[in-house]
Amino acid sequence: MRAIVTTRNGDVDVLKVETRPDPVPGKGEVLIRVKAAGLNFADILARQGLYPDGPPKPCVMGYEVAGIVEAVGNEVDRALAGKPVVAMTRFGGQAELVVAPLNQIFEKPEQLNFEEGAAVPVNYLTAWALLVTMGGLNREEAVLIHNAGGGVGLAALDIAKHIGARTYGTASPSKHDFLKARGLDHAIDYRGQNWLPVLLELTGGRGVELVIDPLGGSSWKKSYRALRTTGRMGVFGMSTASASGIRGKLRAMKALAQTPRFHPLALMNRNRGVFGLNLGHMWGEGEKVAGWTGEIVRGINEGWIRPHVDRAFPFDQVADAHRYIEARKNIGKVVLVP
């Protein structure tokens, strides 16, 4: 099979399409012929050498795929063969074939094509955990979604709209019209101006009850200041470190140095909460994740979850796909097709 291999840390030239042995499904596993594989920011950070959870290189990245079950392992219902499925994969997804255990797959909803199917797991599970499970967002509240035009951002917007919360989002200005058309109440440019006074003005000086922040470093300090009383901040990434080579290392060090500390007594006295999420550390919590997946599939069937694929790049153009996201051009998901 062909697979996208991140050969070492570096710029996009370290990405190669190579031939690898076909994987074989073991007990309780299925073999999937991949029709589309999700590309996530984590894959870019891994290529840059800034993602501690990534496998040793050379490696095949890829956390999610949509495709067709080609074969099944022992103790798996043979009727699954030929079925269209979506799978969470612990790496290895950016390949023509991938093996996944049964508890990491679900049947692809009919109304989604394969590219949209591959856009569901990481973005929507992350957004669900942040907004619903840990953030406890409700309809009387307001939420600030950073990078609202990205993959997780658009997923969070779908969920926040369904809850009925007031929505504020930061994004590059070129994405604002799209975001408003998707239902975002207030789009804020966070690159050409200081977004905090703008948000405070829009909220009558009060701030919001929930902020989700994947930027890291000094952004977490600022987002915390945007919280209203009983507000919660969910931290889940360090996009701000993104860069190849020494520049990335320096940015990561700067972000770490600027990371704020939150004292429990200060949280208590200000009626605020701070929590973190790393979906990549949830592999041992299959039942929990399956519960969230069930809610997301219900949302797809009811029409309030609408995965948006911006572009699909063929495997051979994986370098362009990475560059596209790094240049902040994507609105929603980027997928790779064999």
Ligand X SMILES: NC(=O)c1ccc[n+]([C@@H]2O[C@H](COP(=O)([O-])OP(=O)(O)OC[C@H]3O[C@@H](n4cnc5c(N)ncnc54)[C@H](OP(=O)(O)O)[C@@H]3O)[C@@H](O)[C@H]2O)c1
- Cα–Cα distance measured from residue 270 to residue 262, given in angstroms and rounded to the nearest whole number: 11
Burial of 1 (0-12, 13-18, 19+ CB in 10 A): middle
Q: Which member of 60, 330, 335, 338 binds ligand X (CB under 6 A)?
A: 330
- Distance of closest approach, residue 167 Cβ to ligand X, in angstroms: 15
When asked if residue 279 is in the footprint of ligand X (CB under 6 A), the reply is yes
When asked if residue 186 is in the footprint of ligand X (CB under 6 A), the reply is no
- Distance of closest approach, residue 256 Cβ to ligand X, in angstroms: 15
When asked if residue 149 is in the footprint of ligand X (CB under 6 A), the reply is yes
- Distance of closest approach, residue 212 Cβ to ligand X, in angstroms: 9
When asked if residue 278 is in the footprint of ligand X (CB under 6 A), the reply is yes
Q: Do residues 22 and 97 make contact, with C-beta atoms less than 8 angstroms apart?
A: yes
- Distance of closest approach, residue 140 Cβ to ligand X, in angstroms: 27
When asked if residue 120 is in the footprint of ligand X (CB under 6 A), the reply is no
When asked if residue 153 is in the footprint of ligand X (CB under 6 A), the reply is yes
What residue type is 124 in one-letter code? Y
Q: Which member of 89, 242, 244, 293 binds ligand X (CB under 6 A)?
A: 242
Which residue is nearest to ligand X, using beta carbons?
A: 150
Q: Which is nearer to ligand X, 76 or 289 (CB)?
A: 289
Q: Which member of 41, 106, 168, 178 binds ligand X (CB under 6 A)?
A: 41
- Distance of closest approach, residue 183 Cβ to ligand X, in angstroms: 17
Per-residue binding string, ligand X, 48-87, x by CB under 6 A, is: ----------------------------------------
- Cα–Cα distance measured from residue 221 to residue 197, given in angstroms and rounded to the nearest whole number: 14
Q: Which member of 54, 84, 214, 231 binds ligand X (CB under 6 A)?
A: 214
Q: Cα–Cα distances in Å, from 233 out to 54, 133, 189, 195?
A: 26, 13, 20, 16
Q: Cα–Cα distances in Å, from 144 out to 127, 199, 282, 301?
A: 13, 9, 25, 26
- Distance of closest approach, residue 277 Cβ to ligand X, in angstroms: 5
Q: Quickly list DSSP for 159-213.
A: HHHHHT-EEEEEE-GGGHHHHHHTT-SEEEESSSS-HHHHHHHHTTT--EEEEEE
- Distance of closest approach, residue 41 Cβ to ligand X, in angstroms: 4
| First CA to last CA distance, the chain | 10
Crossing angle of helices 121-128 and 151-163, rounded to 10°: 50
| Near ligand X in 283-312, by CB under 6 A | none
Q: Quickly list DSSP for 215-277.
A: S-THHHHHHHHTEEEEEEEEE---GGG--SHHHHHHHHHHHHHT-----HHHHHHHT-EEEE-
Q: Tell me which residues touch ligand X (CB under 6 A).
A: 40-42, 122-123, 126, 147, 149-153, 171-172, 175, 214, 236-237, 239-240, 242, 277-280, 325-326, 328, 330
